[in-house]
Amino acid sequence: MTDIIQQFAAKARAMGKRNLFNAGATDAKIAAFAERFGFELPPLVAGFYRHFDGGCFADDTWCDEELADPDQRATILWNSHAFLSLDEIIHCTVFDSVEVFEDEGRWFIPLLRTPGHEVLVLEQGHAEVLDAFHEYLPEDWLPLYPDFASLLQAYIDNEGEIETIAG
């Protein structure tokens, strides 16, 4: 396990009830991604998904009863900076305008949905995490983090409350 994933795991434990991350994805699920899209997830991203298959750190506005209520989980995830599960990525269930897709030979992998309905994406073969604000075309998406490790570090440091371009 890389240092950043170890740090993430430690933060997840420290978050207690506010840790709403799923258990890690199986190797079969990670392989299903590669089979579906014809390329593998970058090593750090695949390593992250082996430990955390989507979820979020809920902010402190949610009470213990809401955090413990399985019926509230989808609402909490929708209103948080939530990493997408591999199933959400593979089956393109983020929302209609952003999914794993190819644009003029460029592949974009959605990683995280924000409460403002933005999606942070990783362009296949590139390090930068882009803010894929849904009202703009890919050529107008802006780099938000220099790499996936920087996104994870910001998520750890801010307990899930990360900065995005649209706010």
For the chain, the domains span 3-157
**Confidence at residue 96, expressed as pLDDT on a 0 to 100 scale:** 43
What was the pLDDT predicted at 137?
A: 78
Residue 111: pLDDT band by 50, 70, 90 thresholds? very high
Q: Are 155 and 81 in contact (CB under 8 A)?
A: yes
Residue 1 has pLDDT above 50, yes or no: yes
Distance of alpha carbon 8 from alpha carbon 26, whole angstroms: 19
Q: What is the CA radius of gyration of the chain?
A: 15
- CATH code of the domain occupying 3-157: 3.40.1580.10
Predicted model pTM = 0.90
Strands 106-113 and 82-83: antiparallel
* Stretch among 60-64, 101-105, 119-123, 162-166 having the lowest mean pLDDT: 101-105
- From residue 129, alpha-carbon distances to 13, 66, 73, 88, 146 in Å are 25, 31, 26, 18, 6
DSSP 59: -
- The single-letter code of the amino acid at 117 is H
In this predicted structure, the answer to whether residue 142 has a pLDDT above a threshold of 60 is yes
- Check if the beta carbon of residue 131 is closer than 8 Å to that of residue 81: no
**pLDDT for position 116:** 84
pLDDT of residue 93: 47
Amino acid at 136: Y
